[in-house]
């Protein structure tokens, strides 16, 4: 469901009174289909925080919620010109603006930057832990799965929700617990609107990411490059064992 909200505020001050009065119109356009065929236009009339009157394009008429609102709704519903003007707003106001948003924003895609790394080695009976991270992608919807020797892994997985960076981009992180076996192949598969087909990212045990990024002298983690709102990259410290580091916090 998409929703476009336009706010019009009309404020009037009444003389010889301690407090003023406030009137506003919050026009809302809502739709769920790409062809906009289910577009709904709602225009409420709000006075001093009370919604007393509303036009609803699905009903094709005004509806009053207070005594004054009912009187005005009856008057407006008997005015063909007023009803036609509100009906036209579905096309002229809602659909025209929605098409602009589709072309400028909703139809755009940005490929995720994907990294697969081992964050915990297997010790004794304890399993190893891999992490597949997808950074800086748009739109939000994404699917991350794991393959082991070409077969989808069904258990031992945990994933974060898609997290907003605060700059239109998103990130998501999936973890896989497993017991290593000689000669096996493990891959992270990412499905996203920016890809023509699912993309597979193989984990290479010889390129253990934490070992590459961690400073053996002080245990610190080297910077991970992250796309910022301006399109350039910025650096933040990445510790894959700690989910509350700057790379994982929205607006970082």
Q: Which residue ranges make up each domain of the chain?
A: 2-106, 113-248
Instruction: Say whether pLDDT at 241 is over 50.
Output: no
Q: Write the DSSP symbol of residue 107.
A: T
- Classified as helix, coil or strand, 71 is helix
% of the chain beyond a pLDDT of 70:
74
Q: Which of 81-95, 97-111, 162-176 is predicted with the least confidence, judged by mean pLDDT?
A: 97-111
Q: How confident is the model at residue 108 (pLDDT cuts 50, 70, 90)?
A: confident
Q: Is there a common fold for 2-106 and 113-248?
A: no
- Please compute the mean of the pLDDT values over residues 40-56 and round it to a whole number: 93
Q: Write the DSSP symbol of residue 96.
A: H
Instruction: Say whether pLDDT at 217 is over 50.
Output: no
Instruction: Say whether pLDDT at 214 is over 80.
Output: no
Instruction: Say whether pLDDT at 208 is over 70.
Output: no
Instruction: Say whether pLDDT at 16 is over 80.
Output: no
Q: How confident is the model at residue 215 (pLDDT cuts 50, 70, 90)?
A: very low
- Please compute the mean of the pLDDT values over residues 124-130 and round it to a whole number: 87
244 close to 234: Cβ distance less than 8 angstroms: no
What is the pLDDT at residue 234? Answer: 47
Top pLDDT among 11 and 2 is at: 2
Instruction: Say whether pLDDT at 99 is over 50.
Output: yes
Tokens of 166: 């605060």
CA 180 to chain centroid, in Å, comes to 35
- Please compute the mean of the pLDDT values over residues 113-137 and round it to a whole number: 91
47 close to 22: Cβ distance less than 8 angstroms: yes
What is the pLDDT at residue 209? Answer: 47
Q: How many other CB atoms are there within 10 angstroms of residue 111's CB atom?
A: 15
Which residue reads 């755009």 in tokens? 108
Architecture of domain 113-248: Sandwich (2.60)
Top pLDDT among 102 and 84 is at: 84
Question: Per the omega criterion (within 30 degrees of 0), is the bond before 139 cis?
Answer: yes
What is the pLDDT at residue 245? Answer: 36
Top pLDDT among 154 and 226 is at: 154
Rg over alpha carbons for the chain, rounded to the nearest Å, is: 27
Instruction: Say whether pLDDT at 80 is over 90.
Output: yes
What is the pLDDT at residue 82? Answer: 96
Please state which CATH class domain 2-106 belongs to: alpha beta
Instruction: Say whether pLDDT at 240 is over 60.
Output: no
- Please compute the mean of the pLDDT values over residues 182-197 and round it to a whole number: 93
The Cα 10–Cα 24 span in angstroms is 5
| Most confidently predicted of 10-19, 85-94, 230-239 | 85-94
């Amino acid at each position: 469901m998409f929703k476009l909200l336009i706010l019009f505020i009309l404020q009037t001050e009444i003389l010889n009174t301690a407090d003023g009065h406030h009137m506003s119109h919050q026009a809302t356009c809502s739709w769920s289909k790409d062809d906009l065929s289910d577009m709904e236009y709602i225009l409420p009339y709000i006075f001093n925080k009370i919604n007393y009157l509303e036009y609803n394009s699905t009903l094709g008429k005004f509806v009053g919620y207070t005594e004054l609102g009912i009187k005005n709704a009856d008057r407006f519903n008997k005015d063909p010109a007023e009803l036609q003007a509100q009906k036209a707003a579905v096309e002229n106001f809602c659909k025209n603006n929605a098409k602009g948003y589709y072309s400028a924003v909703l139809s755009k895609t940005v490929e995720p930057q994907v990294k697969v790394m081992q964050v915990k080695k297997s010790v004794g009976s304890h399993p190893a832990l891999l992490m597949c991270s997808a950074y800086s992608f748009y739109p939000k919807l994404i699917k991350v799965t794991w393959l082991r020797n070409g077969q989808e892994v069904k258990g031992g997985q945990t994933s974060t929700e898609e997290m907003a960076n605060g700059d239109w981009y998103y990130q998501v992180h999936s973890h896989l617990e497993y017991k290593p076996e000689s000669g096996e192949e493990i891959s992270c598969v990412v499905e996203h609107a920016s890809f023509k087909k699912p993309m597979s990212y193989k984990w290479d045990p010889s390129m253990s990411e934490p070992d590459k990024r961690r400073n053996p002298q002080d245990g610190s983690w080297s910077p991970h490059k992250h796309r910022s709102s301006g399109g350039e990259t910025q650096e933040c410290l990445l510790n894959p064992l700690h989910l509350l580091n700057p790379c994982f916090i929205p607006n970082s």
